[in-house]
């Protein structure tokens, strides 16, 4: 076991990928000598050179379009989008070309492009630097979407994303880049399937489902609830598309209550899809309505008040209290 931050874990995962796969390469703005704005790619250009760690122009559409062409010629490109709010110039390439190329070719073409996107808030930044656009991409068939919440998953999931023959978007929780944890670099263990949810804490009274940056908050809420005598199960989704409904359904059939928490606005968010599907699959097990906890339906606020916008322990506990009151 090695202790490292999420940022370092992704860096080591990319290093392992570049070393193992000569057809893999990194592309993005300022990812070379600078090492990226979060230093996630720091040192890689010195080891693998500018042909494999490519500093691109500030043109997200060009980055994605070039990556699609490279993938069609047998390469495994990993694109970095500098900030979540900068992905939209490349949205057309991702949703109309990258996501559909395999189906359009009747399965004859594969486009194994990986797109890394730092996402979420909590860093006190300016407009367009703190977004949660995962639901926009999850609605588009043909894309796989994963999000690690800890260093071990970050190390292995970035490598598994590159190995996947489908296009994969990796949403990296930027405010957790400096979160430390143990990483087993020898074997992924239970993280072997990046599209399967993990039960982080067993419980009997209610289930909290979260992903990415809100997983530590969900765990902290479960700890607080335990002090009040409530046993709460916590599930880290890990994958947003596909969603592991089997794991969530089995948990709800045991606990009878479900709270879904994410940073993105509640309206139109991933939580709504989970709530609807679990209501269909486990209706007779539910003792209370599925409750969603998320951001507000508004543009991301200025840094001084973002803590009022982000879902916190109190908002999750309030939802838990409502669920337990039925």
The string of DSSP codes covering 191-224 is GG-TTS-EEEE--SSEEEEE-GGGHHHHHHHHHH
Q: What is the DSSP letter of 56?
A: P
List 129, 152, 230, 262, catalytic entry: 129
| 3-state class (DSSP) for residue 54 | strand
- Where helices occur in 245-309 by DSSP H, the ranges are 245-255, 270-281, 306-309
* Other Cβ atoms closer than 10 A to 46: 12
Name the nearest CA neighbour of 61 among 27, 91, 19, 32.
Answer: 91
Find out whether 90 and 119 touch, Cβ atoms under 8 Å. Answer: no
| 3-state class (DSSP) for residue 167 | coil
- Where helices occur in 130-195 by DSSP H, the ranges are 134-138, 151-163
* Catalytic annotation present for 262: no
Give the residue numbers annotated as catalytic, written as ranges.
129
């Amino acid at each position: 076991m090695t202790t490292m931050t999420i940022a370092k874990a992704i860096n080591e995962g990319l290093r392992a990928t570049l070393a193992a796969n000569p057809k893999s390469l990194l592309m993005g703005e300022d990812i070379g000598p600078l090492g990226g704005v979060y230093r996630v790619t720091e040192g890689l250009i010195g080891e693998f050179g500018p042909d494999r760690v490519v500093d691109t122009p500030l043109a997200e559409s060009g980055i994605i379009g070039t990556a699609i062409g490279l993938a069609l010629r047998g390469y495994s490109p990993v694109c970095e989008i500098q900030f979540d709010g900068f992905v939209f110039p490349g949205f057309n390439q991702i949703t109309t070309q990258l996501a559909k190329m395999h189906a359009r070719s009747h399965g004859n073409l594969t486009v194994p492009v990986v797109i890394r996107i730092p996402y979420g808030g909590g860093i006190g930044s300016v407009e367009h630097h703190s977004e949660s656009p995962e639901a926009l991409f999850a609605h588009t068939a043909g894309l796989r979407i994963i999000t690690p919440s800890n260093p071990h998953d970050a190390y292995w999931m970035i490598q598994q994303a590159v190995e996947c023959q489908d296009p994969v978007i990796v949403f990296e929780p930027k405010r957790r880049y400096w979160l430390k944890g143990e990483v087993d670099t020898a074997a992924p263990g239970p993280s072997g399937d990046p599209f399967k949810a993990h039960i982080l804490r067993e419980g009997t009274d209610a289930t909290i489902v979260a992903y990415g940056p809100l997983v530590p908050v969900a765990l902290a809420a479960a700890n607080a609830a335990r002090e009040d005598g409530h046993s709460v199960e916590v599930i880290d989704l890990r994958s947003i598309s596909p969603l592991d409904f089997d794991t969530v359904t089995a948990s709800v059939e045991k606990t009878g209550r479900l709270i879904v928490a994410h940073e993105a606005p509640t309206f139109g968010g991933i939580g709504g899809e989970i709530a609807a599907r679990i209501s269909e699959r486990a209706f007779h097990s539910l003792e209370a309505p599925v409750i969603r906890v998320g951001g507000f339906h508004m543009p991301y606020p200025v840094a001084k008040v973002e803590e009022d916008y982000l879902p916190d322990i109190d908002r999750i506990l309030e939802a838990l209290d409502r669920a337990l009151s039925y």
